[in-house]
Amino acid sequence: MSSSHSNRARQVGWFGGSFDPVHRAHLALARAALEQLRLDEVRWVVAGQPWQKSGRRMAPAADRAAMVRLMVDGEGGDARFVLDDREITRAGPSYTLDSVREYWRERPDDALWLILGQDQLAGLTSWNGWEELVERMGLAVAARAQDEVRAPAALLERPHRLVKLTMPALQWSSTEVRQLAAEGADVRPVVGDEVAGYIARHRLYSEN
């Protein structure tokens, strides 16, 4: 390895979410960021207690992390994908700022990119400490289907780095997967065989 490469700051994607459950659109977004930003790594950070979703019953964090593991080790297999469980092992609400501060203490030289969908970008300014996040992290954003990437007004008023990612027009969502699973429908086209099998074995999202 040349000295110039070894001295380069690692480019790391920070892909956080509840992943309830993970599905192929998540995988497409992670791949788009990995390839288009030439990232050294994408960290899949499973939220333990997502504070913005406190009103909805969620699958246990251990199950959500297990499904992410199946996705990134299975059909999404890439050595640059890393499952980061810091938020499911830490007590209390899961705040991205707490997690990235912890990561910066571990790897201060890494350059971080926050990987988001347009829906998350729209609500970014409601996040705890979002100003520090956008000051210190780049934003890698993709929109669903025919939607467009649109930064909220408060973000436009601050210095920030935003890269628009190009990815297939996928309509899939975790809400759809939960609804299909509750109805006993086949979720394999959306989540893949291994995650679908896990959902079935553990009776996730089923009232019976």
The tens digit of pLDDT for each residue in 37-81 reads 999 999 999 998 876 555 678 999 999 999 999 999 987 789 999
Q: List, in order of start, the domains of the chain with CATH numbers.
A: 8-171 (3.40.50.620)
Please, are residues 80 and 39 in contact by the beta-carbon 8 Å criterion?
yes
pLDDT in tens, 154-200: 999 999 999 999 988 777 899 999 999 999 999 999 999 999 999 99
**Residue 175 dihedral angles phi and psi, to the nearest 5°:** -60, -45
What single letter denotes the amino acid at residue 192? G
pLDDT in tens, 104-143: 999 999 999 999 999 999 999 999 999 999 999 999 999 8
Please, are residues 176 and 7 in contact by the beta-carbon 8 Å criterion?
no
How far is it, in rounded angstroms, from Cα 84 to Cα 14? 10
Cis status of the peptide bond prior to 152, with omega within 30 of 0: no
Among 67, 11, 24, 20, CA closest to 192: 24
Confidence of residue 4 (pLDDT cuts 50, 70, 90): very low
Token readout for 38 is: 């030439």
201 pLDDT exceeds 70? yes
Confidence of residue 2 (pLDDT cuts 50, 70, 90): very low
**Residue 134 dihedral angles phi and psi, to the nearest 5°:** -75, -20
Please, are residues 97 and 128 in contact by the beta-carbon 8 Å criterion?
yes
How far is it, in rounded angstroms, from Cα 173 to Cα 14? 19
pTM of the model: 0.91
Confidence of residue 89 (pLDDT cuts 50, 70, 90): very high
Strand 138-142: give its sheet, edge to edge: 81-84, 41-46, 11-17, 111-117, 138-142, 162-164
Confidence of residue 96 (pLDDT cuts 50, 70, 90): very high
70 contact partners, CB below 8 Å, separation of at least 6: 192, 194, 195, 198
How far is it, in rounded angstroms, from Cα 195 to Cα 188? 8
Among 13, 81, 105, 97, CA closest to 47: 97
